[in-house]
Amino acid sequence: MYRFEDTALHPAEVLKWYLDAGVDEAMGEQPLDRYALLQEAQAERALAAEAMLKEAQTAHDTSHVATPMSSPSPGRIGSVPVPVRPADMVDVQKAMKEAVERAAAAKNLDQLRAALETFDGCGLKKNATNLVFGDGNPAARIVLIGEAPGADEDRQGVPFVGASGQLLDKMLASIGLDRTNVFLSNTVFWRPPGNRSPNAGEISVCLPFVERMIEIIDPVVLITVGGPATHSLLAHPGSISRLRGQWFTYETPQMSHPIAATAIYHPLNLLSTPAHKRQTWLDLIAIKAKLAEHA
């Protein structure tokens, strides 16, 4: 009488047979579209960033209720994104899907810029004069991402060219850097009307392009400039005063390795609050040291 037990191989022998046959990876019964998974992951990160920005908005609103006598700071200093109206959410999610697909298809910065030039999913584009893509070295070892273009940036189509940009240039020069060895951009690529802060939906729609930009450049260090950029890219709660001076890990599914990331005060903040310059100088020294570690 035939018994299965008489011919069954030991599990170790079965594994050896598979390895000898060249089978070294377990696969599912259904084909797996990893490109689709990548797009889903990007969309999930965009939604997570949007949730983080909304949380910052809620905290901001609560703090203003508790201290009604506090006066707002000029410009966008210490600002948080404007909330998205529920009626706009469907359009935002549709635009996010298109943004993920367009960004993923770009193989270099020129293709990424071209994808943005024909992208109509961000409402900021309608009122802006120019696309403000980025400035600097495409092979930079350090990338800085700020909040949004201002009036000067909108006119010239270049990020950080106003008063805050001039201060940022001096900050970089203090540690031996300039626009020939860094790359500058923002969380959104068009100026918000009236110089307001971009809302969570606008930032989320642009996030896939920002992420792809960082992936293509593949820097050693990522610096988020100001609170909104820090919340959207690093997804850590808390004020910029608490997050600056710390080091985080930034990574996306398309990156071959994680990169070091840190946050600094926005130059506009330093112009209005000079007392923060000492802390920023310490942050710049730490950034210089981090770059030296990867020399």
User: Tens digits of per-residue pLDDT, 147-160?
Assistant: 999 999 999 999 99
pLDDT at residue 72 in the model: 35
CA gap 56, 238 in Å, rounded: 8
Element (H, E) at 142: strand 142-146
pLDDT at residue 93 in the model: 85
pLDDT at residue 207 in the model: 95
pLDDT at residue 258 in the model: 95
CA angle 11, 5, 22 (to 5 degrees): 30
Q: One digit per residue, pLDDT tens: the chain, 295 residues? A: 545 455 567 777 777 777 777 666 666 655 555 445 555 555 566 555 555 555 545 544 443 333 333 333 334 444 445 454 444 555 888 899 999 999 999 999 999 999 999 999 999 999 999 999 999 999 999 999 999 999 999 999 999 999 999 999 999 999 999 999 999 999 999 999 998 999 989 999 999 999 999 999 999 999 999 999 999 999 888 899 999 999 999 999 889 899 999 999 999 999 999 999 999 999 999 999 999 998 7
